[in-house]
Amino acid sequence: MGRRALPKLNPELDLSQLLLTVDDVPRPWSAEQLYGRTAPLEVEVGSGKGLFLETAATANPEHDFFGIEVAKKYARHCAARFAKRSLSNGRVLAGDGLWFFRDVLPHASVAAVHVYFPDPWWKKRHRRRRVLNEPFLKDVTRVLVPGGHLHFWTDVQEYYESTLELIAEVTPLTGPEPVKVRPAEHDLDFHTHFERRTRLAGDPVYRCRYTKSSE
């Protein structure tokens, strides 16, 4: 099932400080330069329509949130969510998450990494394109602070099981830790739009969390 068309954005919304291109990313990396403060940073790879980012940034004003979405129209939609709520602790990059982790983020700079419902690349010959590959997982381990977390959810059992095997093989992360599921209290009381669609269809969601041990 394809994505639904996005609603038109209010042209008066100022996204200039919220929506980044590759050229806008500080090099060397400086979260303080982007957010004007020093705070725990959480990064989501594949932000889609931005429901998680908006909800998390609203509920956790003491943390900063950085979303990465390769599709620019969806990245703009994420940034608009921040603008509508006047959230100063959110930014979104229209670009490649693997590049950002590999070439930008320094060691021990991120409190949590979130990867929700990534593209499963169904065909076997395409699986090397999956975001949760060996180089990315090693970069996740590198950039997490001691005690930091990797959150991974998918509706594809094969992707879930093979990724857990890969994490155990190539990282020292501790897990998988179970993730408690609660009933939704309203129509948008879900982690992401994809989770909403999956759960309303009665399909299973596979969830886990990993922790980087203290160094």
Q: Which residues are catalytic?
A: 119
3 state DSSP class of 12:
coil
Backbone CA torsion sign across 47, 48, 53, 55? negative
Q: Write out the two tokens for 165.
A: 């095997």
Residue at 75: amino acid letter? A
Interior CA angle at 130 toward 190 and 90, to 5°?
45
Q: Are strands 90-94 and 41-45 parallel, antiparallel or unpaired?
A: unpaired
